[in-house]
Each structure stands twice: as structure tokens, then as C-alpha cells.
Structure 1
Amino acid sequence: MARILAIDYGGKRCGIAVTDESQIIASGLTTVDTKNVLSWLKDYVSNEEVELFVVGEPKRLHGEPSESEKLIRPFLEKLNNMLPNIPVKRIDERFTSKIAFDTMLASRISKKRRRDKALVDQISATIILQDYLYNQ
């Protein structure tokens, strides 16, 4: 089986999470500067078999798209043009940053480490991927 890769897309950086080859466990992989994410993904899929991208879909409380969706759509078009054989699924990402922060608190991660936005993005991507795995 191939891996599933999740992306928590942001204006500055993207959190990345990935499943194991059996698609059972979601793990945080890294955080990549947004300007480099497409080249990073291209390199990653040249070394690992990926069958699906799961990308967070930011929404407001009442379900309408948030402002950051305007940044994500051009990224998705470029991703589809670059890697057209790998489909993309969107997953509602409301509250993932809050859940990620609460997870860091529960894990007793130091205050200094909790301020690391890259770690929050990586944990958020893991939560998005876990949601996908749980609901598929």
C-alpha cells in the first residue's frame, strides 16, 4: 500500500503528516516553508509512494470558507498540475490549531516548545490526517 500525506496549508508554512504504508497510523513528518512546499512534495513523492493528499479545508463556524481558502485554491491547482495522478481530498480543519495546542499541553510539552508555530502546524496536519483515517 502507498502512504497518505496530509497538508495543513498556511501562508508562511505548511504542516505535513503522513501515514505508515498500511495507512493505519498518522504521524507528524515536518513543517515546510510555503514557498518551498511544491518542490518538497515533488521530491517526497519521487522517494515514497503516495496515493492521496489530504488537505485541510479552513471554514468559519457556520461552515462557509475562511479567508485562507483563497490562498489554498491556487496551491491546489499547482499541485494538481504537478502531480495529476495523486488525488486530493479536503477535510474540514476547524479547531485543529486549538486541538493541537491542547494536545501539546496534555503531552506536557514545555512552554517554549508550545510557542513553536511550526510544531503546531505539524500536529494540526496529523489531526487532519487522523480525522480522514477515522472517517473514511
Structure 2
Amino acid sequence: MGRILAIDYGQKRTGLAVTDELQLIANGLETVATKDIWKYLSDYLKREKVDVIVVGEPRDMKNRPSDASRFVEPFVRKLRKTYPEMKIERYDERFTSKMAFQAMIDSGLGKKKRQNKALVDTISATLILQSYLESVKF
């Protein structure tokens, strides 16, 4: 069984999270500069067996695509074209950044570390992945 990789795609940074090989636990992987995401994915997918890629889907409060969708959609199209054999899922990412920031506060991280936007992106990807895992359990 391969891993599930979650992507929280952003204009500047892209947060990544991955499951263990049994697809039970979501772990933050890292945050990559968006300009470097294709090289990172290529290298990672050569090293690790991945069954599914889950990409955060930006939605507004009325469950419509948000403004950020115009950046995410071309990424997803290229992802599908580049990896046609890969199962690619979309998953609602509403509130993940706020939840990530709150998780950092709750865990006792100092103000300086909470300003680390790369950490917020990694935690957001982890929250997307954890929510996805919970939604596909039977």
C-alpha cells in the first residue's frame, strides 16, 4: 500500500503532508516554494510509493470556488496531465489556515514561531489530509 500525499497549494508556498504506508496517520512533510513544487514532486514520487494525491480545494462560505481557485485549478490540470496514472482527489480546505494557526497557539508555540508561514502551510496540508482520511473511512 502506498502513501497519500496532500498538497495545500499557494501562490508563494505549497504545504505538503503525507500518510504512513498504512494510510492511517497524517504527518506534515514540508513546505516548498511553489516555484520548486514540480521538481520536489518528481523527486518525491520517484522515492516513495504514493497511491493518491489530495489537493486542497479553496471554497468560500457559500461553498463556491474562492478567488484562490484560479491559481489552484491550473496546478491540478498540470498535475493530472503530468501523472495520468495517479488518483488525484480534491478536498475542501476551508478554515485550514485558521485551524493551523489555532493549533500552533494551543500547542504553546511562541509568537515568533507562529509567524512562520511555512509552518502554517505544512500544518494546513496535514489538516486537509487528516480530514480526507476521516472522510474515506468506512
What interval of TM-score do these two structures reach, taking the shorter chain for normalisation? over 0.9
- Secondary structure (helix, strand or coil) at the match of 1:10 reads coil
TM-score, normalised to structure 2's length? 0.97
Q: Distance in 2 between matches of 1:107 and 1:8?
A: 21
Q: Per the alignment, in what secondary structure is the counterpart of residue 40 of structure 2?
A: helix
Residue 66 of structure 1 aligns to which amino acid in structure 2? S
Partner of 2:132: 132
Q: Distance in 1 between matches of 2:7 and 2:59?
A: 16
| 2:42 matched residue in structure 1 | 42
User: How far apart in 1 are the matches of 2:116 and 2:40?
Assistant: 21
CA distance in 1, matches of 2:63, 2:82: 30
Structure 1 letter corresponding to 2:135: N
What secondary structure does 1:73 align onto?
helix
Code of the residue aligned with 1:103 in structure 2: it is A
The residue aligned with 1:73 is 73
Aligned structure 1 segments of 4 or more residues deviating by more than 6 angstroms = none
Q: Amino acid of the residue matched to residue 134 of structure 1?
A: E
- Superposed CA deviations along residues 61-112 of structure 1, whole A, max 9, x for unmatched, are 0111011111111111111121111111111110000100010001001110
Q: Give ranges in structure 1 of 5+ residues lacking alignment.
A: none
User: Which residue in the other structure is 1:13 paired with?
Assistant: 13
TM-score, normalised via structure 1 length: 0.98
Q: CA RMSD in A?
A: 0.6
Map 1:1-136 onto structure 2 (within 5 A): 1-136=1-136
Instruction: For 2:86, give the aligned amino acid.
Output: I
**Cα distance in 2, alignment partners of residues 78 and 114 from structure 1:** 32
